[in-house]
Amino acid sequence: MKVVHDVLSDSLHKKCSEAIKDFLPHQIWGSSNLFWGDDLVKGLGGSCLSTRLPRNLEYEIVEQIKHKLPPADRIILQFYVWQALSGIMWHNDEAHKFGATIYLNENWNVNDGGIFLYQNSESNTLTGLTPKKNTMVINDQHEFHMVTPVSLNTNEPRLTLQIWGH
């Protein structure tokens, strides 16, 4: 896993944070319970919502971060809203050349769950990362990882920008 801090400019991070919140009341969201395999959601009580970004915002993001991403022929961006009790079980993104996550919440409390765990393929050790504003985690080695369930008592959903390289 690679971790990149302050990946987006402040203005672009703000634009993404505002866009995902503006999208919330619209019927444009897919649900992890419908689109992810049973092995990824088994035992989780909540649903992670996802939607594509507007093309102009996608372009702006890719232009700003493409030098930080592994090479890919095609890049797909999605907003994810991790609701209470949502998470994702162990997997390695094997269907993608790489997967990356940019955290959009201003602040995230470790007690709210949603912790990103990954297993180092060489040392077999587990590492946990609490979502931190404007930090990007890149998985281009197909390391196994998961997101712990978001707490039922959180004040806001966990908001991320997912990036898939093909």
Other beta carbons within 10 Å of 131: 24
Q: What is the CATH number of domain 2-165?
A: 2.60.120.620
What's the whole-model pTM score?
A: 0.95
pLDDT string in tens for the chain (166-residue length): 999 999 999 999 999 999 999 999 999 999 999 999 999 999 999 999 999 999 999 999 999 999 999 999 999 999 999 999 999 999 999 899 999 999 999 999 999 999 999 998 788 899 999 999 999 999 998 999 999 999 999 999 999 999 999 9
CA atoms within 13 A on the CB side of 136: 23
pLDDT attached to residue 99: 96
User: Could you tell me if 147 and 88 are in contact, meaning their C-beta atoms sit under 8 angstroms apart?
Assistant: yes
CA atoms within 13 A on the CB side of 71: 0
CA 151 to CA 112: how far, in whole Å?
A: 5
The length of the chain is 166
pLDDT attached to residue 68: 97
